[in-house]
Amino acid sequence: MCRLLGGALIALAAIAPPGHALASQTFPARGSVEVAFSPADDPEALLIRVIDAARATLHVQAYVFTSRNIADALVRAHTRGVRVEVLADAGMNQRGGGGAMPRLLAAGVPVAFETRYAAAHNKVLIVDAQGAGCTVVTGSYNFTWSARNRNAENVIVLRDHCPLAQAYLANWQRHRAEAAPVTSLPWKP
């Protein structure tokens, strides 16, 4: 059985597209974990507390991003000198409307849209990945009113695990390298 499994993995490796790893990364447990579930808890308030704690860098990946409260927290961080950068799914955010993206762009926060994927479905905040207070936030939670008030969603905050934060940052940077900068809305590729 082991030989069969090993042979299957070798065969998969041979047909995997270049640059696509078949293995995951494993990290020893470290730091603290905090969770929130909507609508019973208030994940948005938790996200804003995490953003407010950022000291040096804040990298965001968002599928749907319409929350003005989260956008305002990111703008506050940007204003106090935190390097804030946002990646978002192009299809879900290109119109802008009165939500988050126009606020971020007006404040000078760098925004880029992901166009390579059918859905850039990540929901991630990476805070201070290179230093004290390193934090990763992820889960199903979109940055929207509906996620906060109507949907069953989850957020997990992983603090003080810098190798994990750096792995998330490396993934964020790969996505950013393929994304298109946005300077105004509505946006067209």
Quote the CA–CA distance of 101 and 93 in Å, as a whole number.
7
Determine which one of 59, 123, 161, 175 is catalytic.
123
Quote the CA–CA distance of 159 and 184 in Å, as a whole number.
34
123 is catalytic: yes
pLDDT, tens digit, 9 for 90 and up, residues 29-77 = 989 999 999 999 999 999 999 999 999 999 999 988 889 999 999 999 9
Determine which one of 121, 160, 161, 188 is catalytic.
121
Give the H/E segment covering residue 124: strand 124-127
The DSSP symbol for 59 reads E
Domain segments of the chain as ranges: 42-181
188 is catalytic: no
> Across the beta sheet with 83-89, what order do the strands follow?
32-38, 153-159, 135-139, 124-127, 57-62, 83-89, 111-114, 180-182
Name the CATH superfamily for 42-181.
Answer: Endonuclease Chain A (3.30.870.10)
Dihedral of CA 55/172/123/120: which sign? positive
**Digits of tens for pLDDT over the chain (189 positions)?**
334 333 333 333 444 455 555 579 999 898 999 999 999 999 999 999 999 999 999 999 998 888 999 999 999 999 999 999 999 988 887 776 667 889 999 999 999 999 888 888 899 999 999 988 999 999 998 887 778 878 888 899 999 999 999 999 999 999 999 999 998 888 877
Determine which one of 89, 128, 161, 175 is catalytic.
128
* Per-residue b or e along 5-25, where b marks 16 or more CB atoms closer than 10 Å to that residue's CB: eeeeeeeeeeeeeeeeeeeee
For 90, the token pair is 């192009």
59 is catalytic: no
